[in-house]
């Protein structure tokens, strides 16, 4: 209780009149412990009375478990990753862990992340991203790590979302509205989600008898500006698409702006549907039709898999939680139908 003086196991032991090891075993509910009920009560009382909390560093040193997970995202300000962090945090808390977070592109060297592992600061690493390659050092380290929302052919430890499925939902929504000339505003080159959404788009197009015209696919990074540029370019092509499936909701904000800028009305002249919902998506003008993905669940599954699987075993999971097409104002039947 005194500020500056920490209560240690020895203090509690003295207070309860037993040995330190007894306190430890009571607190960790050691199954092979046969203790007299009255002693246990006394121990618990002393713990409470002194406000004892085990020192994390000492415990970590002894047990080699920090109960800490490292989570790296490209950018905290990206709402997509904010959701993943939220989910991961909840799952971590459920198993008594905390999250050390970091942002920035996961560079090829990966040294900063591996260092956290090497220092024993974290028990495992969740790498959410991102366009970059998975460093070989990671694969060779033999330490617990997992890729989130991106997969790598040569590093099969990842959990991802059903990006193909999301693309299919979006395309089918547009097809059902009567669209045939459907463009794709794809994600950046090298992005794993981008290529899965693009292939989902192509597959869905073919399934509906619409050949995906390569002239109707254009790349943009996952930013509003990227979406703006790409959509501006797309609108210059003839004949113009009547609808566009945008791989990312932030790009879609820029895409809507570009349409507005070019005098193309959404949705009457152009329908727009994007992957990922946003808390304020329904308040945009026009309110955006989106495919809501289970991002928090992705975060959750990440920590679950990370903490429960053998670090050497391959992990390749697609989060099963349901996606949902949220119909709002940015999609409508084509005018010229």
**Choices 84-92, 147-155, 178-186, 211-219; region in contact with a copy of itself by CB under 8 A:** 84-92
- Which residue, 37 or 279, has its beta carbon nearer to DNA? 37
CA 227 – CA 251 distance, rounded (Å)? 4
Site for a copy of itself, residues 186 to 225, rule: CB under 8 A: 223-225
Q: Which does 256 bind (CB under 5 to 8 A by kind): a copy of itself, DNA, none?
A: a copy of itself
Question: ∠ at Cα 73 (157, 159), nearest 5°?
Answer: 25
Residue 102 touching a copy of itself (CB under 8 A): yes
User: Minimum distance between the CB of residue 224 and a copy of itself, rounded to whole angstroms?
Assistant: 4
For DNA, how many residues bind (rule: CB under 7 A)? 30
Residue 262 touching DNA (CB under 7 A): no
CA 238 – CA 240 distance, rounded (Å)? 5
Which residue from 18, 26, 43, 85 is in contact with a copy of itself, where contact means CB under 8 A?
A: 85
Bridge-based pairing of strands 271-275 and 289-292 is parallel
CA 14 – CA 23 distance, rounded (Å)? 10
CA 223 – CA 252 distance, rounded (Å)? 8
Residue 2 touching DNA (CB under 7 A): no
- Which residue, 33 or 285, has its beta carbon nearer to DNA? 33
User: What tokens does 287 get?
Assistant: 């309110």
Name residue, tokens 């090298």: 190
What three-state secondary structure class fits 290? Answer: strand
**Choices 11-19, 72-80, 154-162, 182-190; region in contact with a copy of itself by CB under 8 A:** 72-80
**Choices 7-15, 192-200, 242-250, 280-288; region in contact with DNA by CB under 7 A:** 7-15
Which residue from 14, 41, 49, 55 is in contact with a copy of itself, where contact means CB under 8 A?
A: 55
289 membership: H or E segment, kind and range = strand 289-292
User: What tokens does 71 get?
Assistant: 């989570």
Residue 316 touching DNA (CB under 7 A): no
User: What tokens does 158 get?
Assistant: 């990842």
Closest CA to 102 of 129, 78, 72: 72
CA 54 – CA 11 distance, rounded (Å)? 12
Q: Which does 272 bind (CB under 5 to 8 A by kind): a copy of itself, DNA, none?
A: none
Residue 239 touching a copy of itself (CB under 8 A): no
CA 275 – CA 103 distance, rounded (Å)? 22
User: What tokens does 51 get?
Assistant: 């406000």
Ordered alpha helix ranges (H), the chain: 9-16, 20-27, 37-50, 56-63, 79-94, 111-118, 136-141, 163-177, 192-207, 224-235, 249-261, 295-308
- Which residue, 55 or 176, has its beta carbon nearer to DNA? 55
Binding mask 38-57 for DNA (x = CB under 7 A): -xx-----------xxxx--
CA torsion sign for 229, 231, 232, 238 is: positive
**Choices 18-26, 73-81, 181-189, 306-314; region in contact with DNA by CB under 7 A:** 18-26
The binding site for DNA (CB under 7 A) comprises: 6, 8-10, 17-22, 24-25, 27-28, 30, 33-36, 39-40, 52-55, 58-59, 61-63
The binding site for a copy of itself (CB under 8 A) comprises: 3-4, 6, 51, 53-58, 60-61, 66, 68, 75-77, 79, 82-83, 85-86, 89, 93, 98-103, 115-116, 118-121, 140-143, 223-225, 227-228, 250, 253-254, 256-257, 260, 279-280, 282-285, 287
């Amino acid at each position: 209780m005194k500020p500056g003086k920490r209560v240690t196991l020895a203090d509690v032991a003295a207070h309860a009149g037993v040995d330190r090891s007894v306190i430890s075993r009571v607190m960790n509910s050691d199954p092979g412990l046969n203790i007299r009920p009255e002693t246990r009560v006394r121990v618990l009382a002393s713990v409470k009375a002194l406000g004892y909390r085990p020192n994390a560093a000492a415990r970590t040193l002894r047990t080699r478990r920090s109960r800490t997970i490292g989570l790296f995202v490209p950018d905290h300000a990206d709402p997509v990753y904010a959701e993943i962090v939220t989910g991961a945090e909840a799952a971590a808390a459920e198993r008594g862990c905390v999250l050390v977070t970091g942002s920035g592109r996961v560079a090829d060297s990966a040294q900063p992340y591996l260092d956290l592992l090497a220092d024993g600061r974290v028990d495992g690493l969740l790498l959410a991203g991102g366009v970059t390659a998975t460093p070989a050092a990671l694969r060779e380290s033999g330490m617990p790590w997992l890729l989130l929302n991106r997969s790598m052919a040569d590093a099969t430890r990842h959990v991802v979302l059903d990006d193909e499925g999301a693309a299919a939902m979006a395309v089918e929504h547009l097809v059902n509205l009567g669209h045939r000339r459907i463009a794709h505003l794809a994600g950046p080159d090298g992005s794993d989600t981008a290529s899965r959404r693009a292939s989902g788009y192509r597959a869905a197009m073919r399934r509906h008898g619409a050949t995906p015209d390569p002239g109707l696919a254009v790349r943009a990074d996952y930013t509003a500006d990227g979406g703006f540029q790409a959509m501006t370019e797309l609108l210059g092509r003839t004949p113009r698409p009547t609808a566009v499936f945008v791989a990312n909701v932030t790009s879609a904000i820029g895409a809507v702006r570009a349409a507005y800028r070019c005098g193309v009305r959404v949705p009457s002249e152009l329908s727009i549907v994007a992957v990922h919902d946003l808390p304020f998506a329904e308040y945009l003008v026009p309110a955006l039709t989106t495919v809501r993905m289970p991002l928090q669940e992705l975060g959750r599954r990440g920590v679950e898999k990370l903490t429960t699987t053998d670090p050497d075993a391959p992990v390749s999971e697609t989060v099963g939680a349901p996606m949902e097409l949220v119909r709002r104002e940015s999609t409508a039947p084509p005018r010229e139908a």
